Amino acid sequence: MTTLFISDLHVDEAHPEIARQLYAFLASEAREAEALYILGDLFESWIGDDDPDVVKRGVVAALRATVAAGTPCFFMRGNRDFLIGEEFARASGCTLLDDPAPVELYGEPVLLMHGDTLCTDDTDYQEFRRMVRDPQWQAAFLAQGLAQRLAQARAARDASRARTSRLSEEIMDVNAGAVQAALRGSDARILLHGHTHRPAVHRFDAGGRAATRIVLGDWYTQGSVLRWDAGGFALETLPR
């Protein structure tokens, strides 16, 4: 049996081709998997578990069908869908994961993360992240009407895109010290994350021990999946 990992699909109504590829993936390969892990940014935005977007609701239903077919699905919130809550979990059948989340895969301890907390050189983003992850901020945001939340989400998304276009790739990538710190606090010597949209397998030294950092890719132009079984892992693209 194979365990599957995906992240950074950024599903929204503007890119229906991403949702279509995800539906096909969930109805085929995911049904045969031992488990499916989604490491954040499944959606381009999430304004609350009452988000009425038809495409997002379709994804929730597809996840529910996958779970009902026998594949456990695990979900870790990303920087785009950090407001996903317990109602999403009930509707989709997914189990919500903390970030970071230690797991054991075929006898190997592995640390799962979305990846945004590793980008510590981007201090402005880290300050923003602390604000929006605060329970009081989230409660105030969710107390607003749908129209207000939608407008704020669009404005935040536009501002993020404009800001990202001005930043260097180095600032938006992970910080090596943050990676080392994450592994020091864990028994794992394998770190698996998304967020940066730079799929790769990095080998490095962590405190005198060999370590591996696996980065999942985004789904903007093609799919990206990590397949892991008793024989090891393979990071691959899924042609659209």
Tens-place pLDDT, residues 121-134? 999 999 999 999 99
Q: Where are the beta strands (DSSP E) in 59-199?
A: 73-76, 95-97, 101-105, 108-112, 190-193
Calculate the CA dihedral of residues 210, 201, 110, 68 and round it to 10 degrees: -160
Tell me what percent of the residues of the chain surpass a pLDDT of 90: 87
Strands 101-105 and 108-112 come out as: antiparallel
Determine the average pLDDT of the residues in 2-17: 96
168 pLDDT more than 80:
no
Report how far residue 14's alpha carbon sits from residue 37's, in angstroms, rounded to the nearest whole number. 24
186 pLDDT more than 80:
yes
pLDDT one-digit tens code per residue, 142-161: 999 999 999 998 898 888 77
pLDDT one-digit tens code per residue, 23-49: 999 999 999 999 999 999 999 999 999
Per-residue buried b or exposed e for 221-235, using 16+ beta carbons within 10 Å of the residue's own CB: eebbbbebeeeebeb
pLDDT of residue 150: 92
Determine the average pLDDT of the residues in 92-111: 97
Query: Quick one: which of 197, 154, 165, 174 has its CA closest to 9?
Result: 197
Angle (deg, nearest 10), helices 135-142 and 123-132: 70
- Token reading at 72: 């456990």
Determine the average pLDDT of the residues in 175-188: 94
Average pLDDT, the chain: 94
109 close to 187: Cβ distance less than 8 angstroms: yes
In order of start, what are the domains of the chain with their CATH numbers? 3-238 (3.60.21.10)
Determine the average pLDDT of the residues in 197-213: 94
pLDDT of residue 207: 85
119 close to 172: Cβ distance less than 8 angstroms: yes
12 close to 55: Cβ distance less than 8 angstroms: yes
Determine the average pLDDT of the residues in 159-182: 78
Tell me what percent of the residues of the chain surpass a pLDDT of 70: 96
Determine the average pLDDT of the residues in 67-87: 97
